[in-house]
A and B are shown apart, each in its own frame.
Chain A
Amino acid sequence: MAALLVEFTDAAFSYGDGAVAVEADLRVAAGGFVGLVGPSGAGKTTLLRALLGQLHPFRGEVRVAGQVVNGRCPRRVGYVPQLETVDWHFPITVAECVLLGRVSESGLLPWPRKRDRADLMALLERLGIAALAGRHIRALSGGQQQRVFLARALIRRPDLLLLDEPTSGVDVRTRQEILGLLRELNDDGIGVVLTTHDLNSVAALLPELVCVNRRVIAQGPPAEVFTSDVLRATFGSEMVVFDHDGLLLTADAPAHGPAHPHHAHLHHGSAHPDDALAREAR
C-alpha cells in the first residue's frame, strides 16, 4: 500500500458552538489527486483548515505525511485560498506576493535572498507569468491571478497542495487551464487536495473524489462515487448522472418530480439517451 499523505482518523470538528461541523475518516495516498465535493456548509473548507493546522479536532486526529497536525501548518504544505477572499486593492506586486510563501525560511532581512529570487523567477517562468512579476496582482486575468497564488504555495516546495475552490468564478478556459496545471504538478509527485462545486470538471479530470456533507459520504474514482444515491445523500437533492462516451456528467433532476430516465435528454447526437442515462439507474 502506498504511503499515506493525508489521514483523518475518526476526526470531528466544531466551531465552538457545540455543533459538529464535520466528521471525517478518510485517507489520501502520497501523490494523490483528490477533489472534495459537497454543498455549501458541508465542511469541505473545514477539512482544509484542519490540514493547515488552523482547526483542531475535538475527537480523533489529523496527520499529514505521518505527522500529527498540531496547531501549526506542516512544513511541506502549500495552500491556495479562494480568490474571492483576496484583497485585490492591497498594494502588492506579483513578485512580492509570491515571495511571501518563503516567509518562514528566508531569514530576517526584508529583501529576498539570491536563491529566493532565482526560485521565484524559475517558478514564474514555469507557470507562464514571469513577465508579470512587477505587476500589481489586480492587473491580471483570472487565470493569471490563480497562478500567482499557486506560485505562492509552490515556492514552499510542497508535498501537498491544498486549494479552496480553485475553479470558482473563472471561465471555462481558465478552469481547464488550472485543472490541467494541477494535473501536471500532480504528475511531478505533488499531492493535490481541492474543494469544488464544479462536479463535471472534477469528474472528467480528477482520479479520486470525496463526497462530503458533514461526514464523508463516499470516496473513490468518479465512476464509483457519482451515483444518484451518493449525490442525493451529498447534496440533498435529486441529480442525474450521464455517461457520455466514458465522460461523466451530472445535472439537477427536474424540480417537479423525481428523476426519471425519460425526463432527461442529451442534446449532443453522439450519445444515445438510453446509454447516457444508464448510470442514473445505478
Chain B
Amino acid sequence: MIHWLVEPWTYAFFRHGMIAATLAGALAGLIGIYVILRRMSYIGHGLSHAILGGAVVGYVTHYSFYVTGGIWGALSALLITGVSRTRKIGADAAIGIITTASYAVGIALISRGHHFTRNFEAAFFGNILGVTSTDVWVLVGVGAGAAVAIFFLYKQLLFVTFDPEVASSYGVRTGVVDVAFSLILAAAIIATMRILGVTLIAAAIVTPAVVARLTSDSFGRMLGLSVLIGALCGFGGMYVSYYGDIASGATITLFGAAVFAVVYVGGLIRARLRRTDLDDSDEPGKALVGFASRARTLQQVEVH
C-alpha cells in the first residue's frame, strides 16, 4: 500500500501534477461556493469554453497561453457580467451567444491547423503530462491572489451573494464586487484549465461546493470544507489518473462525483436512522428536514 502511494512521487511529472491538481482542486472549491450560491454554474461553464478561444489565439500567434487566455478571459468575464444584468433578452441566452461564439473561434482555428489538435487535448480534457513548473507557479499565484481577494471581500461577497438588493442599500458596491468575482473566476479557470480541462472544469468547480453544502448550514464552515474537499478531489483524482492512465480532468471530476455520492447517500441514511429514533417523539420526520433542505441546493445548480 505504502509503495502504491509513494511510487508515483518518484516521477517529476507526477509531483508537478499532484501539486497542481491539489491546488487546482482547492481553488475550484474556493470559488465554487460562490458559483453555486450565485447560481453562476452556467457562467462558469461558458467562461471556460470562451477562454479556449483565447488559448488557441495564443498558440497561433506564439504568445503565452496565459497572456492571450488571460486577456480573452478577462474580456469575456466583463462582457458576461455586463450582459447578465440585461433583462430584455435574458442573461442565459446572451451568455450562451458570447461563450459559444468565443469557443467557436477556438474550434475554427484548431480545424484550420490540424497539426496542433493533439496539443489541445490537454486543454479539453486535462493532462498531468502537460504540467510544467510554470503552470504550478501560475496556479500558486492565482490561488494566492484569489484567496487574498476573497479574504478581504469576504463580507461583501457574502452579502451580495445572499441578498444583493439589501447589500446595495447598505453601501456595498455590488457592481464592483460582481466584476471582481468574475475576474477571479476567469483567472481561476485559466490557471486550472490544463489540469481540469475545458469540458470538465465546471463540474470540478461545482462538486466540492455542493458536497460542502450537504454537510453544513454555515457559510464560513462551508467555504473551508469546500476548499478541503476540492483539494482532496485533486489529490485523489491524480492517483486515479496515474494508475488508470486516464485524463486528469476526468478522474478529478469522477473522484468528486464519488465523494458527492458517498456524502449524499450517507446523509440520507443518517437522516432516516434519526427519523426512526424520533418516530415515537412529537416531531417525527424532523431529522430529514435539515438534510433535505441542504440537498435542495442541488436544484439550484446546473451542471453541464
Contacts and interface: CB of A to CB of B under 8 A. Distances in A.
A81 interface: yes
Given A54-B168, A81-B166, A103-B171, A91 B159 contact: no
B104 interface: no
B166 A90 contact: no
Interface of A: 52-54, 72-73, 75, 77, 79, 81, 85-93, 96-97, 99-101, 103-104, 106, 108, 110, 134, 136, 138-139, 156
B206 to A, nearest CB: 15
B155 A110 contact: yes
Contacts of A88: 293
Contacts of B167: 100, 103
Given A96-B158, A136-B290, 14 more contacts: A54-B165, A73-B171, A81-B165, A85-B165, A87-B163, A89-B293, A89-B296, A91-B216, A92-B217, A99-B155, A100-B159, A103-B155, A108-B152, A156-B170
A256 B168 CA distance: 48
Given A91-B213, A92-B219, A136-B217, A103 B170 contact: yes
Contacts of A97: 162
Nearest to B162: A90
B213 A100 contact: no
Contacts of A108: 152
Question: Of A72, A77, A100, A138, which is in contact with the most chain B CB atoms at under 10 Å from its CB?
Answer: A100
Contacts of A96: 158, 218-220
A89 B222 CA distance: 13
B156 interface: yes
B105 interface: no
B217 A93 contact: yes
Contacts of B217: 91-93, 136, 139
Q: Is the interface of A mostly helix, strand, loop or mixed?
A: loop
Nearest to B216: A91
A138 to B, nearest CB: 6
A86 B163 contact: yes
A215 B159 CA distance: 33
18 contacts: A72-B171, A73-B171, A75-B171, A87-B163, A88-B293, A90-B219, A91-B218, A91-B222, A99-B155, A100-B162, A100-B163, A103-B155, A103-B170, A103-B172, A104-B172, A106-B155, A110-B155, A136-B290
Interface string B192-235: 00000000000000000000010011111010000000000000
A88 B289 CA distance: 13
A104 B169 contact: no
Given A79-B169, A91-B213, A103 B218 contact: no
B169 A53 contact: yes
Contacts, number: 87
Contact of B218 (A72, A93, A100, A139): A93
B40 to A, nearest CB: 14
Nearest to A80: B166
B137 interface: no
Contacts of B293: 88-89, 138
Contacts of B4: none
Contacts of B290: 136, 139
Nearest to A134: B218
Given A90-B37, A96-B218, A104 B154 contact: no
Interface in B270-304: 290, 293-294, 296-297, 300
B11 interface: no
Question: Of B155, B162, B296, which is in contact with the most chain A CB atoms at under 10 Å from its CB?
Answer: B155
A280 to B, nearest CB: 40
Contact of B169 (A52, A93, A138): A52
B151 interface: yes
Which 3 residue pairs are nearest across A and B when measured between Cβ atoms?
A110-B154, A104-B171, A136-B217
Given A96-B218, A96-B219, A110-B154, A104 B165 contact: no
B162 to A, nearest CB: 5
Interface string B75-94: 00000000000000000000
B175 to A, nearest CB: 12
Interface string B128-169: 000000000000000000000001101110110111011111
B39 to A, nearest CB: 10
A77 B156 CA distance: 18
A92 B300 CA distance: 16
A60 B127 CA distance: 63
Question: Of A89, A91, A103, A139, which is in contact with the most chain B CB atoms at under 10 Å from its CB?
Answer: A91
B304 to A, nearest CB: 22
A246 to B, nearest CB: 38
A101 B163 contact: no
